[in-house]
Amino acid sequence: MRLIVGLGNPGKAYACTRHNVGMWVIERAAARWSIRLAPRGAAQRGSGRLGSEFIELAGLLDWMNVSGPPLKGLLRELALTPEHLILIHDDLDLEPGRLKIKQAGGHGGHNGIKSVIETLGTPQFVRIKIGIGRPAPGQDPADYVLEPVSADEMAVFEPCLERAVDALECLIHRGTAVAMNQFNVREREESDQ
């Protein structure tokens, strides 16, 4: 079984903000895999199968900066360890619409990831990072991540959201190393030059 969690903030006011791209991927995956999401406990959740693998999709209903405790509760409820977790979140250091899969590592200044690592006591879980780019010079990153995306930005995000669901399918069926090879292509090509 795999637990796939998208980070974001709850409520309609935050639904279309950059910080909620993790939730957008969960919604795309649920639609593609015919999994119905509904509020249950600390998350918008749905269960289903992807081939032979049982999947639990969850979009946390708590604030981004305190994502750790509800996520730990989900793992406990499902009798899973962090190795069964795939976490999807925004990343300021990747350009908009760019995707990167990472196994373990630090929080990189992301308060949601920091909360998860501190609460779980380990950084040993898979992440799918969705690039949202950097704010304009002088703009507070905290304000930037909570701004709604424009129609032009959404056009950049759309293919990335579909690609993120493709990446989830690859992670589940073929493993982390294969998925990183397939979906982190741009980073590898840049380092070869």
pLDDT tens per residue across span 110-125: 989 999 999 999 999 9
Torsion of CA 67, 43, 168, 99, to 10 degrees: -40
Q: Is 19 a catalytic residue?
A: yes
Cβ atoms within 10 Å of 22's Cβ, excluding its own: 26
CA angle 43, 49, 50 (to 5 degrees): 110
144 known ligand binder: no
Task: Note down the domain range covering 84.
Answer: 2-192
pLDDT tens per residue across span 165-184: 999 999 999 999 999 999 99
The total of structural domains in the chain comes to 1
14 known ligand binder: yes
- pLDDT-based confidence at residue 186 (cuts at 50, 70, 90): low
Neighbour order of strands in the sheet with 38-40: 38-40, 43-50, 53-60, 2-6, 85-91, 126-131, 99-103
- Provide the CATH number for the domain around residue 147: 3.40.50.1470
